[in-house]
Amino acid sequence: MLELFKYGFMIRGLEAGLIIAVIAPLIGIFLVLRRYSLIADTLSHVSLAGVAIGLLLNINPLITAIVASVLSSIAIERLRISKRIFGESALSIFLSGSLAVAIVLISLAHGFGTDLFSYLFGSITTVKQIDVYIIGILGILVIAAIIAFYKELVYVTVDEEAAKVSGIPTSLINILLIVLSAFTVALAIPIVGVLLISALIVIPVVTALQLKRSFKKTIFIAETISIFSVITGIVASFYLNLSTGGTIVLISIGIFLVSLFFNKK
Amino acid sequence: MQQVNHTHTIIELNRVCFSFTSEEIIKDVSLKIHKGDYVGIVGPNGGGKTTLLKLMLGLLQPKAGNIKLFGVEIKDFKDWSKIGYVPQKNYVEMNFPVTVEEMVAMGRYGKRGLFHFSTKEDKEKTLQALKQVDMLDYKDRQINDLSGGQQQRVFIARALASEPEVIFLDEPTVGVDVKTQKQFYALLRKLNKDLDLTLVLVTHELDVVAHEATELGYINRTLEYYGEPNEFLKGAYFHELIGKGGLHS
């Protein structure tokens, strides 16, 4: 087991993975309960466009992914508030539009080879030290923001109208949630990849919801499932030579299926 | 029916109009609600009852006219903990992972303000609100394990938790059986009398308003009547409405 820690990329992968494992369900619980799960998927495709821009311009793709994701998240929320188009349609336009941007950029660069593949499906071997720092700093900021606005996020999620009447600035909280989601999605790219991020944000939360506990206990259970899935996924993918992102998601789906079975009983 | 001292106005609407499109939903409504009033707002479906309530809560902005809460223009009003709100809801989302105590504690969040964690006082007030609605024994239960009537009591407790001076209720007994409804209105009567709490109740149940409320407002786009429920029931106007089937939703 210890030979794992002889490899620098494994340590970096585990460090970054642990931070992602902590923030994904923290954001996920609010997205799932507000029926916003699709936002994670949309923002992950926007992030792919960001990655493609980064690779094309030779800038760290994690940084361009974060910028693209955060800017689009604000645009999506503004479009939703303006009610000029349905919220879901806004998501679908951003999802397909950013995928189109990504594909065009990739074809312009005649493909990016293995680099792009690792961003699509996640690969800890490509996580650089600078990525660990970025994920660490921004990850801690996301956690701090959720703790600072926890009570407002909870109230707006449970009953937005009543929260507004009680004096909570609901528009600010809504934009905060979507921007934090954008950061989380972009930060998770090196570990689980663009195509599997929403799974990590959604599945541990949905699993914890099966157990029908209080809000805080649900978050705690989702965190435990997420951290367990990420750590065991990284370790298993190392020994069995499997895709990291895919292994993490399959482990969390396995736990979800077990929870469904017990819930039926 | 108790007599209310009408010297202390807390809510004032002056020639308020509202429309979503070109057709006016609320037209030229003026009224005053005083401290200790128990106001029942009735009217036909689509007559603008809920819209009027949402205007008073600042959830909708009037197209014309003005609204004052506690003497302050609604757009400048900051002291929202004085206002409690029980929204129209006949069930709680399945699977929502919230205990009764967590739900009621939310009533304190606005009062506590941004960047402040809940305190021991918040916890005490939360438990006190649960006691006032006789739901303290259920504090650790999941909100979706409760019956519709029990859930409504919890929402009242959430509104009470911020120690408000007025509570707005939008069709609170929809989907609740008759016996539970009676207990629910007995609770509202108690809160109105014992705590001197002002209540503004939107409902389609005219008989409830007739027996419970101190003031009745009948809205059908315009505020066609506002005053004592008995006067409304006695008046020829009421019989004319019944004849037209105007009150039934």
Q: What is the DSSP string of B200-223?
A: EEE-S-HHHHHHH-SEEEEEESEE
Q: Hey, which residues 114-143 in chain A have their CB within 8 Å of chain B? A: none
Query: Any chain A CB within 8 A of the CB of B102?
Result: yes
Contact of B85 with chain A, judged by CB distance below 8 Å, is answered with yes
| pLDDT recorded at residue B160 | 94
Per-residue pLDDT tens for A128-164? 899 999 999 999 999 999 999 999 999 999 999 999 9
Task: Specify the range with the lowest mean pLDDT, choosing from A251-255, B5-9, B80-84.
Answer: B5-9
User: Do A166 and B85 count as a contact with CB atoms less than 8 A apart?
Assistant: yes
pLDDT confidence of A186, banded at 50, 70, 90? very high
Q: What is the pLDDT of residue B249?
A: 41
For residues A102 and A49, the answer to whether their CB atoms sit within 8 Å is yes
pLDDT classification of A33: cutoffs 50, 70, 90: very high
CA atoms of A130 and B53, how far apart (whole Å): 54
Instruction: Of A35-39, A81-85, A190-194, B65-69, give the lowest mean pLDDT range.
Output: A81-85
Contact A158 B109 (CB under 8 A): no
The answer to whether the CB of A233 falls within 8 A of the CB of A227 is: no
Instruction: Tell me if A162 and B158 make a contact (CB, 8 A cut-off).
Output: yes
Collapsing DSSP to helix, strand or coil, A193 comes out as: coil
CB contact under 8 A, B85 and A217: no
Q: Where are the domains of chain B?
A: 9-244
Angle at the Cα of A197 (from A55 to B95), degrees rounded to 5? 160
Q: Do B87 and A167 touch (CB under 8 A)?
A: no
Closest residue to B102, CB basis, from A165, A169, A214: A214
Phi, psi of B48 (to 5 degrees): 105, 15
Partners of residue B32 on adjacent β-strands: B12
Top residue of B76, B82, B89, B114 to mutate, by most chain A CBs within 10 Å, is: B114
Determine whether the interchain pair A165/B80 forms a contact, defined as Cβ–Cβ distance below 8 Å.
Answer: yes
User: Domain total for chain A?
Assistant: 1
Inside any domain, residue A220: no
Q: Does B138 touch chain A (CB under 8 A)?
A: no
**What is the signed CA dihedral for B195, B199, B203, B206, rounded to 10 degrees?**
80
The Cα A182–Cα B132 span in angstroms is 43
Give contacts of A169 with chain B, Cβ < 8 Å. Answer: 114
Q: What is the CATH number of domain B9-244?
A: 3.40.50.300
pLDDT at A155: 93
Alpha helices (H) in chain A, listed in sequence order: 8-33, 37-57, 61-82, 87-108, 114-121, 129-148, 150-158, 160-165, 170-192, 197-209, 215-240, 244-264
Task: Compute CA distances B16 → B29, B64, B65, B80, B87, whole Å.
Answer: 5, 6, 4, 21, 22
According to the model, what pLDDT value does residue B79 have? 92
CB of A35 less than 8 A from some CB of B: no
* Span B45-84, pLDDT tens digits: 888 999 999 999 999 999 999 999 999 999 999 999 999 9
Task: Answer yes or no: is A254 within a domain.
Answer: no
Residue B142 touches partner A, C-beta closer than 8 Å: yes
Residue A71 lies in a domain: yes
- State percent of chain B over pLDDT 70: 90
The answer, yes or no, to whether residue A261 has pLDDT greater than 90, is no
Residues of chain A in contact with residue B59, where contact means CB-CB under 8 angstroms, are: 161, 164-165
The pLDDT score that the predictor gives to residue B173 is: 83
Of A166, A214, A215, the CB nearest to B110: A166
Residue A27 has pLDDT above 50, yes or no: yes
State whether residue B94 sits within 8 Å of chain A by CB: no
Comparing alpha-carbon positions, the chain A residue that sits nearest to B101 is A214
How many Å lie between the alpha carbon of A169 and the closest alpha carbon of chain B? Answer: 9
Given CA atoms B179, B181, B186, B187 in this order, what sign does their dihedral have? positive
Q: CB of B199 within 8 Å of any CB in chain A?
A: no
User: ipTM, 2 decimals?
Assistant: 0.88
Query: Do A176 and A145 contact (CB within 8 A), yes or no?
Result: yes
Q: Do B97 and A165 touch (CB under 8 A)?
A: no
Q: Which domain holds residue A112?
A: 15-201
Residue A204 scores a pLDDT above 70: yes
* A9 lies within 8 A of chain B by CB: no
Q: pLDDT: is A162 or A195 the higher one?
A: A162
Please tell me the predicted confidence (pLDDT) of residue A73.
94
Record the pTM: 0.89
Q: Which residues of A touch B117 (CB under 8 A)?
A: 151
Question: What is the chain B residue with the closest CA to A172?
Answer: B114
Closest by alpha carbon to B47, among B176, B229, B220, B249? B220
Cβ neighbours of A159 in B, within 8 Å: 87, 106
Written as six digits, the tokens of A29 are: 């619980």
Of B68, B26, B28, B82, give the one whose Cα is nearest residue B50: B26
Q: Which pLDDT score is estimated for A224?
A: 97
Angle at A77 between CA A75 and CA A80, to 5 degrees: 110
Task: Inspect the interface and report whether the beta carbons of A163 and B83 lie closer than 8 Å.
Answer: no
Residue B50's pLDDT is what? 92
Give the tens place of pLDDT for each residue, B145-203: 888 889 989 999 999 999 999 999 998 888 788 888 888 999 999 999 998 999 999 99
CATH of the domain at A26: 1.10.3470.10
Does B87 have pLDDT greater than 50?
Answer: yes
Whole-number Å distance between alpha carbons of B235 and B166: 29
- Shortest distance between the Cα of B183 and any Cα of chain A, in A, equals 24
